[in-house]
Each structure stands twice: as structure tokens, then as C-alpha cells.
A and B are shown apart, each in its own frame.
Chain A
Amino acid sequence: AQTVTQSQPEMSVQEAETVTLSCTYDTSESNYYLFWYKQPPSRQMILVIRQEAYKQQNATENRFSVNFQKAAKSFSLKISDSQLGDTAMYFCAFSRNAGNMLTFGGGTRLMVKP
């Protein structure tokens, strides 16, 4: 079974600053997918970024980027130029393939302060 751990229950950052959210996971699979999802107060799950384990290059999506360390089983999310709209719960998630069930971490509540 896979496990996903987010060690930071809450974090805050000043607007326009950079923040990094941590995530570690455990699996015996050699190929898999990792995701960061955002859940704003509306509770709609929004995909932020996705990483395929066989790709060594770290994924980036505009202000969002990941630091994927496969050997260390670490998958952190960096948010640059933080905006007030980034305030939300962020979940790290694991999947054996992109369309399969997700195992979520416990979440990190991010507050962006003006």
C-alpha cells in the first residue's frame, strides 16, 4: 500500500513571496504519478501540477513547480509570487497511473497574507 505524508499542517506566506510545501511518499512501485491538488473554500478539487515518476525533469506550471526526488521519495511544491487566491488547502496525492484512484496526504493549509 502507498502512503503519502505532508508534515506541515499549516503554513503562511506574504503576498508576492515564495513558499514550499513538503510531501513524502512510500511505494514499492517503480512507475507512478504524483499530484498536487488545491482545495479552496468552495471545496472543488483543482489540479495544480502533475509529475510522472519516469520523467526526471521537474514539472512546472506557471508559478508552480515541483522538486521531485525519486530516490528520497520526496515531492515538494514551490509557489512563486504568492497571490491571495492561492489561499487554500493543498493536497499531495499518489496514483499508480494518471486515471487511477488517488491516495492523498493529510493536507497543508496555506494562508497568503496581504
Chain B
Amino acid sequence: GAVVSQHPSWVICKSGTSVKIECRSLDFQATTMFWYRQFPKQSLMLMATSNEGSKATYEQGVEKDKFLINHASLTLSTLTVTSAHPEDSSFYICSAPASGRTDTQYFGPGTRLTVL
């Protein structure tokens, strides 16, 4: 099956710093990628839709200036958490449907962010 990677798999940072998380589709092109956030013992909540070549679409309540999304190519989307605070600590997961395909989408393994 198709593979989506995320880097890093975990990161610890100090409050106030910025952290970049990469999501890559390894063997297919993805014009759209989705970013989800999962707090401990909770479900996945969609944060934003990343669109190659255009601005991301953010869900209600998600601060676009805090969670910067860039879809630089057909295989890479990045999520930058700016001025991170402890409440941003969470598990971030990306997913991508393969372009031109109608089957389901593929999930990355997730990135655990801990802000001290």
C-alpha cells in the first residue's frame, strides 16, 4: 500500500520556540493532505487541509497564524507550530489521499510534540 511518512516522530521543545513537522507521501503524489491533532485519550480532530499550490483551509477554532501550513510540492506538506506553548503538546497526524484515486487515504505514523 501507499506510504506516508512524518518527521520527526517525536520532538520536545521549550515554550516560545517554533517546531516544524513534515509529512511526505513516499510513493504517490498528493495534491491535498490533512492535518489532525489528537490529545491524550481523545479522538482525532481535523485541524486543516493542506493544498498544493494554494493556501491551506483551517477548521474553525484553529489559529492559522499559529499553525502554519505549507504544501511545497506534490509529496510534501509541513506544519509549523509557532511560539509553541505547553497546551500545544499533542500528537499530530497527517493523511493524504492519492491523487486521481477514489480509494481511502493514507495516514502518517504521527508526531508527538511535547512543549516544556
Contact = CB atoms under 8 A, between A and B. Distances in A.
Contact of B97 (A91, A99, A103, A105): A99
Contacts of A97: 102
Contacts of B109: 42-44
B103 A102 contact: no
B44 A91 contact: yes
B44 A104 contact: yes
A106 B42 contact: yes
Interface residues of A, number: 20
Contact of B43 (A35, A42, A91): A91
B46 A101 contact: yes
A24 to B, nearest CB: 15
A98 B110 contact: no
Contacts of A104: 43-45
Contacts of B46: 101-103
A99 B107 contact: no
B43 to A, nearest CB: 5
A44 B43 contact: no
Interface of A: 33, 35, 42-45, 47, 50, 91, 97-107
